Structures are given as C-alpha cells and as structure tokens.
Amino acid sequence: MSRIDFSQTPQIDQVSVEERVARLNSRSIKKASKVEGLKLALNMIDLTTLEGKDTAGKVKQMCYKAMHPHDELPGLPTTAAVCVYPTFVGLAKKALGNSGVKVASVATAFPSGQSTREIKIKDTKFAVAEGADEVDMVISRGEFLAGNYNYVFDEIAQVKEACGVARLKVILETGELSTLDNVRRASEIAMRAGADFIKTSTGKIQPAATQPVTLVMLEAIRDYYYETGVMIGMKPAGGISTAKGALNYLVMVKETLGNAWMTNQWFRFGASSLTNDILMQLAKEASGLYQSGDYFSKD
C-alpha cells in the first residue's frame, strides 16, 4: 500500500486567516436570527467535565443539566452530548436514558497521549464497551512534531478500528502544534486516517480553541469534501465561554461549509460555562431584561 506524503500539505497564510476571521466577526446577528443561532449553539454543546476530582455525583448532576438546561424557558433543546472520562461512561449512559443526549468519552491516555499503543487501544475499547457513542482521542503530538506523520496516521486508524460503531473525534491539540501550517497538516492526517470529527483541543492547556485555528480546520474539511465526497465534523473545544463568541463560530461554519454542517451531527462546541451565557442571552431576548448569573444553575 502506498503511503501518503504528508510533508506536502497546503501552506496557510496566518495574516490573511486572521483578517478573514475579523471580517466574519463583523456579521451582525440580531433578533430572530440571534435566538435561532443561540438555540442551535446550545444544541451543539458537548457538556464537559474532565477533572481529576470528578465523582459520580458531579457527572450525574451534569447529565441532568444536559437534558434540562433551563426548564423555565420553554422550547429549549438539550445539549448534544456530555463528555467524560471512560470510568463515568456507564453512569452517564444510565443517567441520560433515552433523552437523545449522546455520551462522548475521552480515551487514549487523555490528555497527554504519552503512553503505549496497547494501552491506548485498551482505553478506547473499554470506553466503547461501557457504551460510549463517541470517542474523543488525542494524537501523539511528539511524534507529529518529530515528523513521524505515518505513526500518527496509523495510531488514528487503529483507534478508529477499536471504536466499532462509535464516532471518533480526533483531538489535534492545536495549542501545541505552533503553526497554522501544522494545524492543516494534522487535519489532513486525521481525516484520511478515519476521523469522523476533527477537534481542536483537550482544554487542558493554553491556547485552547481559537477562531483562526478553527477556520483552517473548516477549510481543510471543505477541501476534503470536494476531493472525496466525505463529510467530516468539527469541534472547537476550550475557551469558548460567551454566547457572542459561539455565534461568531457559527458564522464561520455557515460561510465556510454551508448549511449541511449546521447541525450537531457535524459541529460541536466543547464547553461548559458557555451554556449559561447562552441561556442568559436567550432569557434576555425573551423578556427584554438583562439577567444575573444567579438565576441559572451551575452544574
């Protein structure tokens, strides 16, 4: 089997990317458009808890929030999914019942990825066996930066195999990749190796998701779609905490990939505090009054 030469991926001009982002951010989203966008964004959230101090109680309460973001406001969707460590998948699955909220599990020695292939595959299989609908894996950044692109490719392909029917999100950890050229390159490797989603970050280091990085990944997805006809999803994670910010991301998706990607089948936000900012904005649009954080549950 001939190997793909990943050293020849497209060059990216950072200055222009930042300008395009600024232009996209100048879109004015008001009134009905704003309400519709915010509800869409809410439905795209992967409500996340990935802390050393997580417990069953924490995860259960978060699952309730995912299904009932704010019952006082009628007509709200659930979030798309919850995202937890593998040991909480079973519990989350039970708590969510048939609400339609998916369970995503991190795997492959998240967040560092510094472990053996064997351990990472086992980690994945465990999460899947527990009932995870989706697996969020991390790539081996060290191997990538050392130029061992085929190693990275093979690892993703093997994890994809271990996922079975679960959808695979591949975390590139763009904050460690340094350049937009590298972000593009890592995206190419992930898509071709079998990713269903490409995701920016673990959320454990700075910088997490940024708009320029997201735009580059969306453009990679578009080129791949034209080349192969295959749709790939995208998830920016970490650092998106405002409703306005979320709308900016939606504008980027809409104007880069178009309508087909504007569902939680193909776009997710990896976030936790974003939820309440969206809820406050929706409540303000409905009532005309500014809201306080005290009126919205934090779990």
Footprint on this chain of another protein (rule: CB under 8 A): 10-13, 15-17, 19-20, 23, 26-34, 36-37, 40, 196, 219, 222, 225-226, 228-231, 250, 254-255, 257-260, 262
Contacts of 267 (CB under 8 A, 6+ apart): 44, 233, 234, 235, 253, 261
Active-site annotation holds for 39 = no
Residue 131: CB atoms within 10 A of its CB come to: 14
Q: Which is nearer to another protein, 23 or 68 (CB)?
A: 23
Q: Which is nearer to another protein, 151 or 225 (CB)?
A: 225
CB of 278 to another protein, least distance (A): 15
Only one residue has tokens 């704003």, namely 34
CB of 91 to another protein, least distance (A): 29
- Point out the catalytic residue in the list 65, 93, 125, 199: 199
- Point out the catalytic residue in the list 102, 120, 125, 235: 235
CB of 143 to another protein, least distance (A): 26
CB 155 within 8 A of CB 120: yes
CB of 230 to another protein, least distance (A): 6
Distance between CA atoms of 87 and 52, rounded to whole angstroms? Answer: 12
Q: Which is nearer to another protein, 119 or 260 (CB)?
A: 260
Distance between CA atoms of 146 and 18, rounded to whole angstroms? Answer: 27
CB 25 within 8 A of CB 251: yes
The burial class, CB within 10 Å (0-12 / 13-18 / 19+), for 86 is buried
Q: Which is nearer to another protein, 43 or 99 (CB)?
A: 43
CB of 121 to another protein, least distance (A): 24
Output the CA angle 94-95-101, nearest 5 degrees.
95
Only one residue has tokens 């990472």, namely 120
88: left (phi over 0), alpha (psi -120 to 50) or beta: alpha
Distance between CA atoms of 137 and 156, rounded to whole angstroms? Answer: 8
Q: Which is nearer to another protein, 162 or 217 (CB)?
A: 217
Phi and psi of 65, rounded to 5°?
A: -60, -40
Give residue 209's identity as a one-letter amino acid code.
A
- Point out the catalytic residue in the list 65, 93, 125, 136: 136
Active-site annotation holds for 199 = yes
Q: Which is nearer to another protein, 32 or 289 (CB)?
A: 32
CB of 104 to another protein, least distance (A): 18
Looking only at Cα atoms, what is the longest distance across the chain?
63
CB 231 within 8 A of CB 225: yes
Active-site residues: which are they?
Answer: 136, 199, 235
